[in-house]
Homo-oligomer: A and B are copies of this chain.
Amino acid sequence: MRNIMIEIEYDGTQFCGWQIQPNGRTVQGEIKKALHTLTGNQIKIDGAGRTDAGVHARGQVANFFMDLAIPIGKIPMALNSLLPEDVSIVNAVEMPQDFHARYSAIGKRYSYLIYLNSVRSPLMRNYGQHVSYKIDIDKMKDASKVLLGTHDFKGFMASGSKIINTVRRIDEIDFNIHEKNLEIAFEGNGFLYNMVRIIVGALIELGRGKISKEHIILALQSGNRKLLGPTAPPQGLYLDKVFYPLTR
């Protein structure tokens, strides 16, 4: 059986997230349907990670096993012709048998888009968080540095998550501002459920003066989620890239 890795872009607006659900339209479900049409078989697809409803991806990764003797370069076009227009296979690579989209991953990059303007933007409504008040970006940059490195991010995880090991490493947090768009990019070895959105929510609260850097330090030390602000909304979040050995 061939082990096929695919890179996937999707607009999360009309999806109930990545993972197949009994009710609700999901990215994994749409790909599974397309693979069924293409191969005639029910094929299991493993994704590098879940994304929530409304969250987008520029470089989600998944893998699956199949027999079909289609040239690897034809797989994106073949699947795209069967997929709805809010999901697209942007690349396909044949991998060794032991490759697994999730377990082989050594890191991920997410970015979060914030739209800074006193009035809302129709063109950005599904693709960024609207922040209408003034925020101090330099203060946010400064505070974000305490998150770099290896920490127990228990306080930066959505409640109800069953993860036991909450230690993660963040390698980079980059701020880029272009006109009214502030993009904050995160690279690390892995992220807990809602971790990026909780960090962004906290940085915005800090930027508007509702919490201080000490709250973030204390949340890292104590694991107390309540010290941070509300979770930033899903539509600003993008899964940009999943890293594997040799692809970084």
A-side residues, CB < 8 A to B, are 9-11, 56, 58, 76-77, 80, 85-91, 117, 119-123, 125, 127
Contact = CB atoms under 8 A, between A and B. Distances in A.
A122 B86 contact: yes
B122 A10 contact: yes
Contacts of A88: 119-122
B125 A85 contact: yes
A10, A76, A119 — which one has the most chain B CB atoms within 10 A of its CB?
A: A119
Contacts of A85: 120, 122, 125
Interface secondary structure of A, over-half rule: mixed
Most chain B Cβ neighbours within 10 Å, of A80, A85, A88: A88
A87 B124 CA distance: 11
Nearest to A9: B122
17 contacts: A10-B122, A11-B122, A56-B123, A76-B119, A77-B119, A80-B119, A80-B120, A85-B122, A86-B122, A86-B125, A87-B122, A88-B119, A88-B120, A89-B119, A90-B119, A91-B119, A123-B127
A123 B123 CA distance: 12
Contacts of A121: 9, 88
Contacts of A119: 76-77, 80, 88-91
Given A76-B119, A80-B119, A11 B125 contact: yes
Nearest to A87: B122
A93 to B, nearest CB: 14
A122 to B, nearest CB: 4
Contacts of A120: 80, 85, 88
Given A9-B122, A11-B125, A86-B125, 13 more contacts: A9-B121, A9-B123, A10-B122, A10-B123, A77-B119, A80-B120, A85-B122, A87-B122, A88-B122, A89-B119, A90-B117, A91-B119, A123-B127
